[in-house]
Amino acid sequence: MNRMKPSNSTPARLKSLKCTQCGGAISIRGGHNVRTIVCQYCGACLDSKNEFAVLHRFINQKRPFMPLAIGARGKLKNVEFTVIGVLQYEQREDGEVYRWLEYLMFSYTHGYVYLCYEDGHWVLMHEVKDLPETDVEIVMPLKSKFEVRGHSFKVFECAAAKLTYVEGELTWQAKQNETIRYLDAICPPCLYSIESRASEIEYFWGEYISHKEISEAFKIECISPSTVFACQPFNCSPLYKSMAHGSLIASFLALLMYFMVTSSGAYVASDNLGDEVFKDSGTTSEFVIDSPGALYSATIRANHLDNAWAFFDLRVLNAAETEEFCAMPAEVSYYHGVEGGESWSEGSREETVYFRVPEAGNYKIDIEGEGNRGETNNPDPNFSLRSVSIEIRKGVRLGHHTLAWFFISLLLAAPYFVRVYRFEKKRWGEDEDDD
């Protein structure tokens, strides 16, 4: 075995150089995987693996507005990054031009990442070797789904973009106006991107970063975005979100409870009364109430009601008709006809009212009715119905309270879900208000 000699294991790193074409000062901030450096003064693309020889030139580059400068340093996801290069891409669609910046950043510990900037939105992306679990083409229908790393992604965009500006260090050799094809799929706040250039396909994993985080990380003023970005998460406090989800669950539980507790009860008695109900009043035969605490129902049916209304006053009496325990109003109306060849009907011929009595025993119901046909402009003074039937049931459970809880909890949850719905509409460009 060779005797080991102390030495420095890696050569000293070059920190700066002069552009081999124009002599402009260039700082080197990246690692050894940097392949090319594009001079900001003359656009020369220098080969960092071959004595910085000029590979080609980017001609007539127009420097875009850049919220971050090369050399800027900031801590994102607890990792210190330095901006080492910048690229601008341009995409044209339906006469609109969309431009975005991609900052290449370097960290000794985490390597190279891209910080993408568009319309005030920021996404931190890095190359991954995670391929979709199913075959994914770079052109797929919008919203089609595939899985990566256990996340379900929806295709957001498949397009081509042109490289329009390059400056600084890159881990590859960029070419002026070169075109990339890409597929962006989202699972907010994550973005999965497949990029194809020349013969190479790369896969990127991204995460939406709020402009406030960028502002704090790089100590810069960031504009607040006014649009919804592809992978932007719906932003609300976790407490509000939990409450909304809790309320929604509560409303479903309340609805379930409502169906479980409601009961139309057991049959007790029924009776048919004639037109005396409308002349004076009619009284049912005796029926037995054996559970005085239970809720009873009385359903009154006016089967001959036709394009008319009827109002009934029901009074629960003891068998001797000497004592009244409760009075209940019930109104029915039923109209029908044909309009424009379509038949229609509204209202109902029956109505149910509920009552309790304090003691078990025999009871009767006295019914006094009045009614008329259609509108009351020409009332029929002799209006009456041939018969009215009534059915008594016991042990009725209404569940009105649980139904009320269903609506209250649904109302509490609704604003959150309406906001989410509108946010998603904006994300997918389906919001008509934006047009």
Partner 1 sequence: MPVSLTCPSCGNVINQMTRSPQMLVCPACNSTHLLNSGRLEDVGKSAILTDFPSIFELHHTFRHKDWKFTPVGRVRYDYGDGWWDEWFVRSDNGKESWVSVDEGEIAIEALVQKGVKVPSFDELKVGGSLIINRIKMKVIEKNSCTMVGAEGELPFKIAPNETYNYVDLLGPKRLSFTIEYQNDAIDCYKGVWIDPFDITRA
As measured in angstroms, the least distance from the Cβ of 434 to partner 1 is 34
Q: Between 9 and 376, name the residue whose CB sits nearer to partner 1.
A: 9
Residue 187 to residue 23: CA distance in whole angstroms: 46
Residue 31 to residue 14: CA distance in whole angstroms: 10
As measured in angstroms, the least distance from the Cβ of 101 to partner 1 is 21
Q: Does 15 bind partner 1 (CB under 8 A)?
A: no
User: Applying CB under 8 A, which of residues 73, 126, 162, 422 lies at the interface with partner 1?
Assistant: 126
Respond yes or no on whether the N-terminal peptide bond of residue 358 is cis (omega within 30° of 0).
no
Q: Does 128 bind partner 1 (CB under 8 A)?
A: yes
As measured in angstroms, the least distance from the Cβ of 398 to partner 1 is 53
Pairing of strands 111-118, 121-128: antiparallel
Alpha helices (H) along 262-293: 276-279
User: Applying CB under 8 A, which of residues 20, 107, 291, 299 lies at the interface with partner 1?
Assistant: 107
Q: Does 14 bind partner 1 (CB under 8 A)?
A: no
As measured in angstroms, the least distance from the Cβ of 109 to partner 1 is 4
Q: Does 338 bind partner 1 (CB under 8 A)?
A: no
Number of residues that bind partner 1 (CB under 8 A): 30
Ranges within 30-59 binding partner 1 (CB under 8 A):
31-33, 49
CA 388 to chain centre: 52
Phi, psi of 183 (to 5 degrees): -125, 125
Q: Between 22 and 28, name the residue whose CB sits nearer to partner 1.
A: 28
Q: Between 110 and 397, name the residue whose CB sits nearer to partner 1.
A: 110
Q: Does 416 bind partner 1 (CB under 8 A)?
A: no
CA 393 to chain centre: 46
Q: Does 110 bind partner 1 (CB under 8 A)?
A: yes
- Site map (CB under 8 A) of partner 1, residues 176-215, x = contact: -----------------------------x----------
Q: Which residue is it, tokens 């049916």?
A: 301
As measured in angstroms, the least distance from the Cβ of 71 to partner 1 is 18
User: Applying CB under 8 A, which of residues 15, 65, 95, 129 lies at the interface with partner 1?
Assistant: 129
As measured in angstroms, the least distance from the Cβ of 105 to partner 1 is 11
Ranges within 74-93 binding partner 1 (CB under 8 A):
77, 79
Q: Does 134 bind partner 1 (CB under 8 A)?
A: no
Give ∠ CA 128-133-134 in degrees, rounded to 5: 125
User: Applying CB under 8 A, which of residues 131, 261, 288, 327 lies at the interface with partner 1?
Assistant: 131
Respond yes or no on whether the N-terminal peptide bond of residue 67 is cis (omega within 30° of 0).
no
Q: What is the DSSP annotation of 91-127?
A: EEETTEEEEEEEEEEEETTTEEEEEEEETTEEEEEEE
Residue 125 to residue 115: CA distance in whole angstroms: 6
Q: Does 7 bind partner 1 (CB under 8 A)?
A: yes
Q: Between 26 and 105, name the residue whose CB sits nearer to partner 1.
A: 105
Give ∠ CA 160-163-165 in degrees, rounded to 5: 155
As measured in angstroms, the least distance from the Cβ of 49 to partner 1 is 6
| 3-class secondary-structure state, position 42 | coil
Cβ count within 10 A of residue 282: 22
Q: Between 130 and 178, name the residue whose CB sits nearer to partner 1.
A: 130
Q: At what angle do helices 238-261 and 400-427 cross, to 10 degrees?
A: 140
Q: Does 336 bind partner 1 (CB under 8 A)?
A: no
| 3-class secondary-structure state, position 368 | strand
As measured in angstroms, the least distance from the Cβ of 84 to partner 1 is 12
User: Applying CB under 8 A, which of residues 119, 130, 178, 306 lies at the interface with partner 1?
Assistant: 130
As measured in angstroms, the least distance from the Cβ of 130 to partner 1 is 6
Joined together, the tokens standing for residue 158 give 């498949």
Give ∠ CA 90-96-98 in degrees, rounded to 5: 30
Give how far Cα 397 sits from Cα of 290, 325, 354, Å: 17, 20, 10
Residue 102 to residue 107: CA distance in whole angstroms: 16
**Contacts with partner 1, residue ranges (CB under 8 A):** 1-10, 31-33, 49, 77, 79, 106-113, 126, 128-131, 205
